[in-house]
Structure 1
C-alpha cells in the first residue's frame, strides 16, 4: 500500500513483460515518452524489452496486487 519505485529508479529488463493489476490502483511511468499510465483492477500493459518504466504511484489504502509474466522475444 502506497509503494512506488524510488525517485530516479527505472526498471530496465531484457525480457518483455505482460503485467496486469489484480487489485488496488497504480500509475506506471514510462521514461521514453514521459507518459503516465493509470491502472485499475483488470488493466494490463505489455512492456517491451528495455522499455524503462517505474511504478510512479500506488493507492495508499488499498493493496495493489500485480501479476507479471516475463518472456523472451
Structure 2
C-alpha cells in the first residue's frame, strides 16, 4: 500500500515525478512541486492526452495558445495531446501534489 501524501522529501531541489501505475494506453504519475516551474525556454508538447488533478497546494498551467489556468485542491483539467503548455507557477510555501493521467 502507498499514500500519495507521504514519502515527500524534506529538500526538493527539483520537481518529483513518480510513476504510480502503468497499463495498456495509460500511465498515472504523482508530481510534487514546491515553487517549481517548467524550464523557461520551451513548452511541453506531449504525444498523449493528459488529465491533471491538484490534490494539495496550488499551481498555474500556461498555454502557448490560450489563457493560463490556476488550479487548487480538487481542480482538474484535460490537456489534449500536442497542446503546448508549461507549469508557470507553483506555491513556494507548500507542496503542490498533482495526479497526472497520461492516456491515448
- Shorter-chain TM-score range: over 0.9
Aligned to 2:36: 3
Distance 1:21 1:48 in 2: 17
| Residue 100 of structure 2: aligned partner | 68
What is the number of residues matched between the two proteins? Answer: 71
Specify the alignment match of 1:32 in structure 2: 65
Separation of aligned partners in 1, 2:55 and 2:42: 23
Highest RCO, 1 vs 2 (Cα 8 Å, sep ≥ 6): 1
Measured in 1, the distance between the counterparts of 2:35 and 2:42 equals 16
Gaps of 5+ in 1: none
1:43 aligned to which of 75, 79, 92: 75
Q: Residue deviations 1:5-44, cap 9 Å, x none? A: 11122111110000001111100001012x1101101100
TM-score, normalised relative to structure 1:
0.93
RMSD: 0.7
